[in-house]
């Protein structure tokens, strides 16, 4: 069942252009101690059962080295929020706007019940695995956050919910991008 959810959401993210061939990662909370996360370097668009790694939310085990490079961020989110699932993606319009905005504000975002979407990591190291605590803290009060020039992290009770927020963020950013372009054309 979980494997099917991972495969469906991974394929949807890839098909919609929210991740490239080997970018992005997914995870779900299995219980208070264990999580399932995509394998380091996996292709979300064509996930197999071997791409799903069970490891500890707090403790390392033999599977930990196989997990996504974003494992520290996923762990922090699961440790500090009640999230059941996490989607980390690289939506292009959202990333572009994260390089010029400190938060994404739109009436359209309100329609999706996203509120103001913070952009974290200005003047900080935003490489994969960094900003774990900042992302987790922000996700206590937001459904999705952006990391400056890097990508988004969304939470939900199931992967499909976190995917919904990711797709909505990119749609909001596409509209904002178009509005900004139209204003410049005048």
pLDDT per position as a tens digit, 44-70: 999 999 999 999 999 999 999 999 999
C-alpha span between 73 and 80 (Å, rounded)? 11
80 or 110, which is more confident: 80
**pLDDT reading at 9 higher than 70:** yes
Q: What does pTM read for this prediction? A: 0.95
Nearest 5°: phi and psi at 101? -120, 150
Q: According to the model, what pLDDT value does residue 18 have?
A: 98
- Going from the N-terminus, what domains does the chain have, and what CATH number goes with each? 1-185 (3.40.225.10)
- Please state the rounded mean pLDDT for residues 164-175: 95
Does the pLDDT at position 176 exceed 70?
Answer: yes
In three-state form (DSSP H/G/I as H, E/B as E, the rest C), the secondary structure along 19-66 is: CCCCCCEEEEECCCCEEEEEECCCCHHHCCHHHEEEEECCCCCCCHHH
Looking at the chain, the whole-number percentage of residues with pLDDT higher than 90 is 83
| pLDDT value of position 108 | 73
68 close to 35: Cβ distance less than 8 angstroms? no
Report the C-alpha gap between 160 and 178 in whole angstroms: 27
pLDDT at 109 over 70: no
């Amino acid at each position: 069942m979980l494997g099917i959810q991972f495969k469906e959401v991974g394929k949807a993210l890839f098909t919609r252009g929210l991740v490239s061939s080997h970018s992005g990662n997914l995870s779900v909370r299995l219980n208070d101690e264990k999580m399932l996360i995509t394998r380091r370097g996996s292709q979300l668009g064509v996930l197999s059962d071997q791409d799903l790694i069970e490891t500890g939310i707090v403790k390392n085990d033999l599977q930990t080295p196989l997990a996504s490079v974003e494992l520290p961020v996923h762990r922090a989110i699961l440790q500090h929020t009640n999230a059941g699932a996490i989607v980390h993606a690289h939506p292009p319009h959202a990333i572009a706007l994260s390089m010029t905005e400190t938060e994404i504000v739109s009436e359209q975002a309100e329609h999706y019940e996203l509120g103001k979407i913070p952009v974290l990591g200005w003047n900080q190291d935003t490489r994969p695995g960094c900003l774990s605590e900042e992302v987790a803290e922000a996700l206590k009060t937001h459904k999705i956050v952006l990391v400056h020039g890097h990508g988004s992290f969304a939470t939900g009770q199931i992967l499909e919910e976190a995917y919904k927020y990711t797709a909505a963020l990119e749609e909001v950013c596409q509209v904002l991008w178009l509005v900004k372009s139209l204003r410049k054309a005048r």
